[in-house]
Amino acid sequence: MKDLTRERLIKHSEAYPNMQIKDLFKYIFQSAFGCEHLVSDLDASISYINIERKSIGSYEEPLTEQLDGSYSRVHLSCLNKGLTPRTLGKIFCLSAKTENGGREALLEKLGVARELIEQGLLPFSLSDFEKELTAWRELNYPAIRHSEAFRNEYRPAYRVVADKYVSILPLLSQLDSRLTRGRVILAIDGGCASGKTTLANMLRDIYDCTVFHMDDFFLRPEQRTAERLAEIGGNVDRERFEEEILKPLCNNEAQICYRPYNCATQELGAPVCVSPTKLVVVEGVYSMHNGLSGYYDYSVYLDTDLETRRTRISVRNSKEMAERFFNEWIPLEESYFTDMKVKERCDLIIEK
């Protein structure tokens, strides 16, 4: 971690040769704590973004700048790529939280910065660094503004956002652009434990959208015939999913009712009725089955390496259940992905 901090501090200094010690402190503070303070007023955040956006015009910067932690600076020029001020404001607010261990991380990064200055690898004198650090420490390391020199030279216009949202910015931009034209039905496919449910939950947090899970449409015991299970992608009740979810969605029905399959009882549960939102997310393996894919406006494939997925499966399940994933369900999924060219047909591939 220390080597990575060294590398990133040097890279940051090279990218902004006229930055001041104050700007170094700001970079380190944001790396340790993320947003400068907790943000709860979404409307105010959106308003500030709209005001600031006017000052950048068509000015282009790299969309993101990785900080030395789990946050990045997202430049407002991302709004020129389809992302809306509301979505940027929302992920900014969602990223604002009390960071556990932030102070320890701050002090550690400041120690690395001191070492780099001593070695002549950052363009500051050690005495100036110590003087400004002492003054900042006496105030208990509050949030800090960019120096006037930095603002004049580099015109910073960004929001600090958690990396988990940064990784899906291309998807958010696509969704925002398409939502201006009407309802969007999004499919999220990928192998088990690839992060599909996590992504769907993130989108629900951002858009307050309706989410349907393919896991709610597993075959009932009486449907699991040898003939059916021999089909590629045959181990979900795609016919019921089409009739109860996708057709009503495309017919713009005001309410959709279905009975989710209960794995514990191996029966259909009580009816669930929802009023679909403008963005509707369908997540799960087999969502991009050839018989279903024509209903979607956009599709995403989560490309997560097998070793990561196996680790997640082992953590989440008993040894016996994990073996069923490895020996039974993953091979079935791989046959489906290969035969139906799911990854190739999806509009966007996200590597996780």
pLDDT in tens, 233-257: 999 999 999 999 999 999 999 999 9
Q: Is the pLDDT of residue 59 over 60?
A: no
Q: Is the pLDDT of residue 60 over 80?
A: no
Q: Is the pLDDT of residue 310 over 70?
A: yes
Band of pLDDT at residue 57, cut at 50, 70 and 90: low
Looking at CATH, the fold of the domain delimited by 169-351 is given as: Rossmann fold (3.40.50)
**What pLDDT, on the 0 to 100 scale, is given for residue 38?**
57
Across all residues in the chain, what is the average pLDDT? 94
- 303-327: average pLDDT: 93
State both tokens at 120: 């002549």
d(CA 313, CA 320): 11
**What pLDDT, on the 0 to 100 scale, is given for residue 110?**
98
**What pLDDT, on the 0 to 100 scale, is given for residue 126?**
97
State both tokens at 63: 């969309």
d(CA 209, CA 309): 26
In angstroms and rounded to an integer, the radius of gyration of the C-alpha atoms of the chain is 24
* Digit-coded pLDDT (tens) for 92-125: 999 987 667 889 999 999 999 999 999 999 999 9
Q: Are the C-beta atoms of 348 and 300 separated by less than 8 Å?
A: yes
- 122-133: average pLDDT: 98
Q: Where are the domains of the chain?
A: 2-166, 169-351
**What pLDDT, on the 0 to 100 scale, is given for residue 53?**
86
Q: Is the pLDDT of residue 20 over 60?
A: yes
How far is the CA of 314 from the CAs of 99, 198, 213, 303, in angstroms? 29, 17, 22, 19
How far is the CA of 313 from the CAs of 5, 17, 98, in angstroms? 32, 46, 30
* Digit-coded pLDDT (tens) for 328-350: 899 999 999 999 999 999 999 99
User: For the whole model, what pTM was predicted?
Assistant: 0.93
Maximum separation of any 2 CA atoms in the chain, in Å:
78
- 276-295: average pLDDT: 98
Torsion of CA 154, 158, 160, 165, to 10 degrees: -130
Q: Give the closest residue to 95 by CA, choosing from 173, 157, 39.
A: 39
Q: Is the pLDDT of residue 6 over 90?
A: yes
d(CA 332, CA 330): 5
**What pLDDT, on the 0 to 100 scale, is given for residue 166?**
95
